[in-house]
Chain A
Amino acid sequence: MPPVPLPESARKHMLRTMMLIRVVENQVQTLFSENVIQGTTHLANGQEAVAVAMAAHVNPRRGDTVTCTYRGHSHALALGMQLRPFFAEMMGRTGGCSKGKGGSMHLTDLSIGLIGTFAVVGAGLPISVGAALTAQIKRNGSVHLAIFGDGSVNIGAWHESLNLAAVWKLPVIFLCENNLYGEYTPYLRTSPVAHVADRAAAYGLPAIIVDGQDAEALHAALRQASEHAQNGSGPTLIEAKTYRYSGHSRTDPAAYRPAGELEQWLARDPIQILADRMIADRQIDAQEIARLQAEVEAEVNSAIQWALAQPFPNTETLYEDIWAS
């Protein structure tokens, strides 16, 4: 699907958000190396365009929801998660979006429609299908997004979800970030078909393959899928061809990548692609980009300082939030 030019304001918002995500992910990596953030984390550098194009189609006030994967910082931030609760959660401190009980792999914020970040591969898909079931029964016109990686497409939950959503014609969009690797193994070594989108035919679903580095192409694909869902035609499978610049998780140097592959993808950086287009259309210049960069860096640094000042949760909260009453 080709890009469709968006208004200047929408372009600028997407550009700024992608820059913000990039700065955040780089800072997360640094905070990890300093042991300020513990556990594990999965960075989305290189995949920012998918997140910002997706978020442009989510309206929480209408009841739209999103489930994403443990490589989900980009989605949370694009949807509008505030930086302070984001960083406090990453550090396991009070003030975190989930009071420090979720962490990097379980970011949740109902106010922005993010009903869950799933760290068991494929587990979020049936839950998005259920959110879409609510939409169908309540007839509220909402649209629901299930975001997953190419590594999810061989697990049962994936197939069961596409099938059920197709049978019931539910307003859900299955958005695949195909970053070429399921953990350490290339997609083509685990799939007999070249494209994730090829599998849609098995469920009678429309599929769209889209350049995952081009925010405007993604935006157009998502618009088509969103309209398809809203007019009662059911789900669409979108396959965004993208790439993660870093390894699977913090301990993975990605030594399995062929020489030159990373460089090829770096030459198609999603931030650069949109910035170049805006420069060509005289909507932004290098000076303004530098100003935006300084602005988001200051915002991120301020949020990190705030989060660092938050205490760790009191152990009295240990058994809270298990049961609803």
Chain B
Amino acid sequence: MTEQVLRIENLSKSYGSLVALNNLNLTVNRGEIFGILGPNGSGKTTTLAILLGVILPNNGSFKWFNEEPSAYIRTKIGAVLEQPNFYPHLSARQNLRVVARIKGVDDSDIPRVLSIVSLEHRASHRFKTYSYGMKQRLAIAAALLGDPQVLILDEPTNGLDPQGIAEIRELVMKIASRGITIIMASHLLDEVQKICSHVAVLRTGNLLFTGRVDDMVGETTTLELAAPDMALLHTLLSSHQELDSISVAGGKILAQFKGTADPGAINKFLFDQGVTLSHLTKRQRSLESQFLEILNNSENPKP
């Protein structure tokens, strides 16, 4: 049986006339790596900030572990919201001691979380001497204090160099492999595709899609084709009933078919018409094109 970690109902937030979040409904179950995807200003951080008690919603409600939100419930959730916030004059260890006391976690857990993010050797240095990547790692360490069942990360790789990004992603995967539910906001499609199992797509405060990442990919199939007679190939493909769109790129034809078109059947269809392919590749549709499509559809709804 799936266990609900979070349920959001009709959540709305506006700042004056600006609607930051419009009637959001979402459910996150135990063990999911849940991505909240959307461009900047789509309401991702607002959503997380409401869930963590720092922004007050205008409307709607949410429940953590089927319980009403409370300060106590938040001690069971690890969260990094926007940039890492710590006392600059305190060392990493002293900062973690503050968090540990707030969360009601014993200080003996501090070495464990420091070693997870590989900061043991810098633990006694003041926070203000840290590089941005180290600050980000310390924030994750603080979130891991007390081994919470849910980890919330907001743009965890924002502002990091490629090595830092790789480190954080590896860390998130490592944490997720231990069965911890992760809720992660990101504007990077690639990141969500690489890390997440489930996704919610937001745009200007509206939920456009929610479900498995796998379900989001694969409504259409894109084939990359080439043949000695490109003109004939183009004509034949254009006559195919299941064809959705066709374009030419880099000396190859990109043909998008509705549904899950079988490349074998397409090949046979072309061969029967007298075209021998010199190239045929099935392209996994990236989340990016899917994402852009969802955004476009919502902007210009199809009749």
Do A and B originate from a single complex? no
> Taking beta carbons and an 8 Å cutoff, which residues of B are in contact with A?
none
> Taking beta carbons and an 8 Å cutoff, which residues of A are in contact with B?
none
